[in-house]
Chain A
Amino acid sequence: GENVEQHPSTLSVQEGDSAVIKCTYSDSASNYFPWYKQELGKRPQLIIDIRSNVGEKKDQRIAVTLNKTAKHFSLHITETQPEDSAVYFCAASTGNQFYFGTGTSLTVIP
């Protein structure tokens, strides 16, 4: 099955700086790559997603890039704010199953 790896596991940045989280996947059939933000005790919330026919997608301060050849994709958060502090999960999917990365705990220091 699919194997999704995510790095780093923890990340601390100063408010206003950028944060980058990287994921790799193993199944070349995966064609949908969402990113979720999960606050403590709450459900994961989709923040951005990308499909395999696109190399980059941006939504305000959040962007995702995808390199299908290398099988990796990254989340970029610019101008970070304290409310961005949470655990972020990447996932890879063929549309039938979703496999999650191990998560990155992001702390934005005011």
Chain B
Amino acid sequence: GAVVSQHPSWVICKSGTSVKIECRSLDFQATTMFWYRQFPKQSLMLMATSNEGSKATYEQGVEKDKFLINHASLTLSTLTVTSAHPEDSSFYICSASSGTGQYEQYFGPGTRLTVT
């Protein structure tokens, strides 16, 4: 089946710094990638949807200047958490879909971000 990887799997950073998380589709071309945030024992909250070559579509309440998303190629999307604060600590999961009409999405393993 389709494989999606994320890097890093866990990152600890100091408050005020920026952190970049990569999401890669390893064996298929991901026309659409999704970024989710998940707090402990809670559901996945969709943050944004990105289509290759276009600007990401952010969900209401998600600051696009704080969570920068780039989907420059069909196999790579990045999420940069800028000026991170402790409240940004969370589990970030990406998923990828191969395109229009292909409903199934494939999840990455997630990245645990801890901001101290």
Contacts and interface: CB of A to CB of B under 8 A. Distances in A.
The A interface is mostly helix, strand or loop, or mixed, namely strand
Contacts of B42: 102-103
A43 B16 CA distance: 28
Nearest to A91: B44
B69 to A, nearest CB: 14
Contacts, number: 51
B108 A102 contact: no
B8 interface: no
The B interface is mostly helix, strand or loop, or mixed, namely loop
Q: Which residue, of A1, A41, A43, A99, has the highest number of chain B Cβ atoms within 10 A?
A: A43
A45 B104 CA distance: 11
Interface residues of B, number: 23
A35 to B, nearest CB: 12
Interface in A1-55: 1, 6, 32, 34, 41-46, 49, 51
Given A1-B59, A1-B60, A43-B93, A100 B43 contact: yes
Contact of A95 (B60, B93, B101, B109): B101
A51 B43 contact: no
A103 B44 CA distance: 9
Interface string A41-84: 11111100101000000000000000000000000000000000
Interface of A: 1, 6, 32, 34, 41-46, 49, 51, 87, 89, 93, 95-103, 105
